[in-house]
Amino acid sequence: MTTKPHKQTEFQPGRGYTKEDWDEVSDNPPWTAEELKNARPFREVFPELAAKMEKEIAARGRPRVEAPKVAVTLRLDPDVLEKYKAGGKDWRATMAAELRKAAGL
């Protein structure tokens, strides 16, 4: 049996927010059906800001590379894998370099 979470209707200290925070949020009444009907997406209301935010989010992470590496699944003999792993934590780069050499690249 599942129970519904209890909706707090009064400020309770020690729960991670201040009385001022509680008062500010509790003064915000639920939206009416009319307000919900007239609501528009953020992107529609603030297109320039939405575009700027998307650009900032896209700029996060690793920089794009011209020829990104491709993930593959490969079955190897255990002794071959152990030989490369014994070479240290960059064993994948070592293996890739030797494969490039064997392929004549």
pLDDT band (50, 70, 90) for residue 17: confident
Q: By C-alpha distance, which of 38, 62, 58, 61 is closest to 50?
A: 58
Residue 85 counted as domain residue: no
Residues 69, 100: Cα–Cα separation, whole Å: 13
Residue 53 has pLDDT above 80, yes or no: yes
Averaged pLDDT for residues 49-76: 89
Residue 32 counted as domain residue: yes
**Would you mind telling me the total number of residues written for the chain in this entry?**
105
Residue 9 counted as domain residue: no
Taking the CB of residue 95, how many other CB atoms lie within 10 A of it?
18
Instruction: Answer whether 84's CB lies under 8 Å from 95's CB.
Output: yes
Domain hosting 27: range is 19-58
Report the number of distinct structural domains present in the chain: 1
